[in-house]
Amino acid sequence: MSPTDERQPELGSRALFPELECDAYLNHASMSPWSAPVRREMNRCGDDYARKGLGALMEWRPQRKRLKEKIATLIGAQGGDIALVPSTTRGLIDLALCMPWQRGDRVIVFSGEFPTNVTPWQRAAELFGLDLVMLEAELFRTNEEEALASFESELESRGARLVAVSAVEFQTGYRMPVDAMARACHRAGAEIVVDAIQALGIVPMNVVASEIDYLVCGSHKWLMGPEGIAFVYATKDPASRLRPHVAGWLSHESPVDFLLEGPGRLRYDRPIRSTIDFLENGSLSTIGCAGLEAALDILIELGPTAIFTHVQAYLDELEPLLVELSFESLRASNGHGRSGTLSVLPPSGVEVTALSRALGEAGIICAVPDGHLRFSPHWPNARSELEHVGAELRRIVAAKG
User: DSSP letter string over 212-237?
Assistant: -SEEEEESSSTT---SS-EEEEE-HH
Write down all domains in the chain, each with its CATH number in brackets: 24-34+304-400 (3.90.1150.10), 52-299 (3.40.640.10)
342 pLDDT exceeds 50? yes
299-316 mean pLDDT: 98
Task: Please state at what angle helix 304-324 crosses helix 286-302, rounded to 10 degrees.
Answer: 80
401 pLDDT exceeds 70? no
Q: pLDDT band for 2, please (50, 70, 90 cuts).
A: very low
Q: pLDDT band for 4, please (50, 70, 90 cuts).
A: very low
Instruction: Tell me the CA distances in angstroms from 113 to 29, 157, 243, 340, one per residue in order.
Output: 14, 24, 26, 17
Predicted TM-score of the model (pTM):
0.95
Rg (CA), the chain: 22
300 pLDDT exceeds 90? yes
SS3 333: coil
Q: What is the mean pLDDT of the chain?
A: 96
Count CB atoms within 10 A of the CB of residue 41. Answer: 24
Count CB atoms within 10 A of the CB of residue 294. Answer: 25
Count CB atoms within 10 A of the CB of residue 327. Answer: 22
Instruction: Tell me the CA distances in angstroms from 246 to 41, 94, 179, one per residue in order.
Output: 31, 7, 29
